[in-house]
Amino acid sequence: MGKLRSLASQTAVYGISSILGRLLNYALVPLHTQVFPDSEDLGVVTGLYAYVAILMVIYTFGMETAFFRFATKDKLSDTFNATSTAVAVVSTLLSAFIILFASELAVAAGYPNASTLIIWLAIILWIDSILSIPFARLRLENKARLFATAKMLNIIINVGLQVLFLMAIPFMISNQWPGYQFLDSIYSNDLGIGYIFLANLIANALLIPMLWRSISKIRIRLDWDKLKPILIYAFPILVTGVAGMFNEQLDKILLEQLLPDDFYEDLSSTGAVGVYGQTFKLSIFMMLAIQAFRYAGEPFFFSNAKDPDAPDLFARVMHYFVILSLLILLLVSINVDLIGFIFLRNPEYRMALYLVPILLLGKFFYGIYMNLSIWFKLTDKTAYGMYFSIIGALVTIAGNFLLIPYIGYLGCAITSVLCYGCMTLICYIWGQKHYPIPYNFKILFPYFLITCILIALSMSVEYGDFLIDSTIRIAISLVIVAAIYLLEKPRLIKK
**Please, are residues 42 and 36 in contact by the beta-carbon 8 Å criterion?**
yes
What is the DSSP code string of 386-425?
HHHHHHHHHHHHHHHHHHHHHHTHHHHHHHHHHHHHHHHH
DSSP 114: -
pLDDT per residue rounded down to tens, the chain (495 residues): 555 555 555 555 555 555 555 556 566 767 777 778 766 777 788 778 878 878 888 898 888 888 887 876 777 788 888 889 999 999 999 999 999 999 999 988 888 888 999 999 999 999 999 998 998 888 788 777 788 788 888 888 988 898 888 888 888 888 878 777 878 777 887 788 888 899 999 999 999 998 898 888 888 887 787 888 888 888 887 877 777 777 777 887 788 888 887 788 777 787 888 788 878 877 777 777 777 666 666 666 776 767 777 788 888 888 888 888 888 888 888 888 888 887 776 777 778 888 899 999 999 998 899 889 888 888 888 788 888 988 998 999 999 999 999 998 899 999 999 999 999 999 999 999 888 888 888 888 888 998 899 888 888 877 777 888 888 888 888 888 888 878 776 665 455
pLDDT at 11: 54
pTM of the model: 0.69
Domain count for the chain:
1
For the purposes of burial, counting CB atoms within 10 Å of the CB of 438, is it exposed (0-12), middle (13-18) or buried (19 or more)? exposed
Helix ranges (H only) for 191-343 are: 194-205, 207-210, 212-215, 224-258, 269-280, 284-303, 310-334, 336-343
> Would residue 328 count as lying in a domain?
yes
> Would residue 427 count as lying in a domain?
yes
> Would residue 95 count as lying in a domain?
yes
> Would residue 333 count as lying in a domain?
yes
> Would residue 257 count as lying in a domain?
yes
What is the DSSP code string of 117-136?
HHHHHHHHHHHHHHHHHHHH
pLDDT at 442: 86
Rounded Cα gap, residues 97 and 95, in angstroms? 5
> Would residue 158 count as lying in a domain?
yes
pLDDT at 411: 92
> Would residue 477 count as lying in a domain?
no
Rounded Cα gap, residues 463 and 461, in angstroms? 7
**Please, are residues 226 and 398 in contact by the beta-carbon 8 Å criterion?**
no
pLDDT at 419: 93
> Would residue 479 count as lying in a domain?
no
Max CA pair span of the chain: 71
Identify the H or E element spanning 384: helix 383-407
Cβ contacts of 17 within 8 Å, gap of 6 or more: 148, 149, 151, 152
- Please count the residues of the chain: 495
- Which 3 state secondary structure label does DSSP give 464? coil
- Which 3 state secondary structure label does DSSP give 182? helix
Backbone angles phi, psi at 313, to 5 degrees: -60, -45
pLDDT at 292: 67
Q: Which residue, 277, 242, 286, 291, is CA-closest to 412? A: 277
pLDDT at 38: 67
Range of the domain at 346: 2-461
pLDDT at 472: 86
pLDDT at 10: 54
Rounded Cα gap, residues 269 and 296, in angstroms? 39
Rounded Cα gap, residues 169 and 51, in angstroms? 30
End-to-end CA distance of the chain: 7
Helices (H) and strands (E) in the chain, counts: 24, 0
